[in-house]
Amino acid sequence: MMQWSWRQAFYCMTGILGNVETQSSEPFTRSCCGRISPLYWRVPILVWALFVMFWSIAYFWGPKDMFFLYMTHWGLAFIVLESIFGIFVAIGRRGLTDATFGLPWYVKTYWILYNITIPVAFLITVFYWGILRTSVNTVNFAPNPVLDVMLHGVNSGVMLVELVCSAHPSRLLHIMQPLYFAGAYMLFSVIYFFAGGLDPWGNPFIYPVVDWSKPEQTMVVITLTALFLALMHLLVVGIAAARDAIAKRREDVPTGVYNDAFAP
């Protein structure tokens, strides 16, 4: 059984990247599918995300300054950022330092964005179709049905492609990174509520199921959402482990890079 040290516990609670001085940059610059460049999927994902971003802004149902009230749009912005840094890492592979000097800052940034964006995309899809669309207080968050699917369905699909095709690790100890993202959004919603903020229809909440005028109900929703987001992170780690095990078996080599989920 794995014995956790105080340092590993610290890495987990803070969500920071641990032992990056011993982590090679090489897995971040390639695909798990042989010599295929990550650019083959990261560039299309960026183009898709930018297209959907501009489309969403153009068809937004309220004032444009309210666009980033919603976690869906936060998640979309993170897909844009994650793709940009992923492309930069793939293009700049020749200039990456080796494990002796640790990971460059832009590789660390990409890794953090990757750790946050994928489970959050999965959460947005499940939260929207499983809770918001079935809520008694139904609000029409996406008047365009095609855009609705793009924002709340295809978002998870493109991030699943990123997860399945990448070769770098996903760590259990990084579970706090997506949770801190969710915590930042929760704090934003609290501040917005107590500042008298309204949604585009004049309601005193952003989402009807996250109504701070009903704190007990809202805290139940937030707690369950946080637990589900943690579960999504575990799912990401499991998929990464299965991906690398399959890639390792396909290459038929006794050693190689694999997803050691318990490493810091």
| Domain-located, residue 263 | no
Note the pLDDT tens digit of each residue in 138-160: 566 666 889 999 999 999 999 99
Note the pLDDT tens digit of each residue in 223-244: 999 999 999 999 999 999 999 9
| Domain-located, residue 4 | no
Is 28's pLDDT higher than 60?
yes
| Domain-located, residue 18 | no
CA separation for the pair 243, 241 (Å, rounded): 5
| Domain-located, residue 161 | yes
Spatial CB neighbours of 245, under 8 Å, sequence gap ≥ 6: 258, 259
Q: What percent of the chain has pLDDT over 90?
A: 61
8 A C-beta contact, residue 70 and residue 193: no
pLDDT for residue 256? 43
CA separation for the pair 229, 25 (Å, rounded): 27
SS3 per-residue string spanning the chain:
CCCCCHHHHHHHHHCCCCCHHHCCCHHHHCECCCCCCCHHHHHHHHHHHHHHHHHHHHCCCCCHHHHHHCHHHHHHHHHHHHHHHHHHHHHCHHHCCCCCCCCCHHHHHHHHHHHHHHHHHHHHHHHHHHHHCCCCCCCCCCCCHHHHHHHHHHHHHHHHHHHHHECCCCCHHHCHHHHHHHHHHHHHHHHHHHCCCCCCCCCCCCECCECCCCHHHHHHHHHHHHHHHHHHHHHHHHHHHHHHHHHHHHHCCCCCCCCCCCCC
Note the pLDDT tens digit of each residue in 48-106: 999 999 999 998 988 999 999 999 999 999 999 999 999 999 998 655 554 445 788 99
| Domain-located, residue 20 | no
Mean pLDDT calculated for residue range 9-18:
61
pLDDT for residue 241? 94
Backbone angles phi, psi at 100, to 5 degrees: -60, -35
Reported as a pLDDT band with limits 50, 70 and 90, residue 14 is low
Determine the structural domain holding residue 118 and report its residue range. Answer: 34-251
| Domain-located, residue 239 | yes
Is the overall model pTM greater than 0.85, yes or no? Answer: yes
Count of structural domains within the chain? 1
Spatial CB neighbours of 76, under 8 Å, sequence gap ≥ 6: 49, 52, 53, 56, 151, 155
| Domain-located, residue 21 | no
Helix (H) or strand (E) holding 48: helix 39-58
CA separation for the pair 80, 196 (Å, rounded): 30
pLDDT for residue 238? 96
pLDDT for residue 24? 79
| Domain-located, residue 19 | no
